[in-house]
């Protein structure tokens, strides 16, 4: 019988390439240059999704539309839509702060791959940054509505 453990896979350096790597369910996930801020953010994202999926592998879709591109398109729309008497409304600043953690964690991710597990990771990031739960929920719903309910499933 396998030994049950509560440990989280370590962030480590792949000696041959100098990349940061984490192994989840027997599969190496390369995170970028070891020690970089980007690789740390990618590590946090992968671990939080993996834990949210009860330590099971997760499947992501593939598409050329990334979350970053989707945010850029939505931002152009929002700049025109959320106006009153020609001036931007408060919703613009709320969107900006809601989309920041989404962009930090899922910038290069396919928009199709953004789903419930990804949303949970974004919410966790918001809480860690000091947001109140009510504000976090509202901001997360802005992110989720913006990505049009794409789905990531646990296998």
SS3 state at 55: coil
Same-domain check for residues 128 and 149:
yes
Residue 119 lies in a domain: yes
Verify that 46 and 111 share a domain, yes or no. no
Say whether both 71 and 125 belong to one domain.
yes
The answer to whether residue 115 sits within a structural domain is yes
Q: What digits encode the pLDDT tens for the residues 36-52?
A: 999 999 999 889 888 88
117 — pLDDT class (breaks 50, 70, 90): confident
Write the CATH number for 85: 1.10.150
Residue 135 class from Cβ within 10 Å (0-12 exposed, 13-18 middle, 19+ buried)?
middle
Same domain, 72 and 49: no
> Hey, what are 6's tokens?
């509560």
Q: Is the residue at 7 inside a domain?
A: no
Phi first, then psi: what are they for 24, rounded to 5°? -120, 120
- Phi and psi torsions of 135, nearest 5°: -65, -35
Exposed, middle or buried: residue 146 (CB in 10 Å: 0-12, 13-18, 19+)? buried
Inside any domain, residue 42 = yes
Domain assignment present for residue 62? The answer is: no
35 closest CA partner among 11, 68, 67, 9: 11
Tally the domains of the chain. Answer: 2
Same domain, 127 and 99: yes
91 and 32 share one domain = no
φ/ψ region of 26 (left if φ > 0, alpha if ψ in -120 to 50, else beta) reads left
Domain co-membership, 95 together with 132: yes
What digits encode the pLDDT tens for the residues 70-114?
888 888 888 888 899 989 999 888 888 888 888 898 888 888 778
Residues 39 and 113 in one domain: no
Residue range of the domain that includes 29: 12-56
The residue assigned the tokens 């369910």 is 25
Please tell me whether residue 33 adopts helix, strand or coil conformation.
Answer: strand
**Structural domain includes residue 3:** no
% of the chain at pLDDT higher than 90: 22
Residue 16: exposed, middle, or buried by beta-carbon count in 10 A (0-12, 13-18, 19+)?
A: exposed
Q: How far apart are CA 76 and CA 79, in angstroms?
A: 5
Count CB neighbours of 2 within 10 A: 4
Name the β-bridge partners of 110.
66
pLDDT at 99: 87
Q: Is residue 5 situated within a structural domain?
A: no
What number is the average pLDDT over the span 128-150? 69
In the predicted model, is pLDDT for residue 10 greater than 70? Answer: yes
């Amino acid at each position: 019988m396998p030994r049950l453990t509560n440990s989280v896979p370590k962030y480590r350096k792949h000696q041959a390439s100098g990349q940061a790597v984490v192994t989840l369910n027997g599969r190496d996930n390369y995170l970028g240059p070891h020690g970089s801020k980007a690789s740390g953010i990618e590590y946090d994202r992968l671990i939080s999704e993996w834990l949210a999926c009860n330590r099971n592998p997760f499947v992501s879709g593939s598409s050329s539309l990334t979350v970053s591109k989707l945010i850029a398109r939505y931002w152009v729309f929002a700049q025109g839509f959320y106006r009153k008497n020609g001036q931007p409304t408060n919703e613009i600043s709320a969107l900006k702060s809601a989309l920041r953690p989404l962009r930090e964690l899922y910038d290069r991710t396919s928009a199709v791959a953004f789903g419930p597990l990804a949303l949970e990771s974004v919410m966790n990031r918001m809480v860690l940054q000091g947001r109140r739960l009510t504000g976090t929920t509202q901001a997360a719903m802005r992110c989720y509505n913006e990505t049009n309910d794409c789905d990531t499933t646990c296998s």
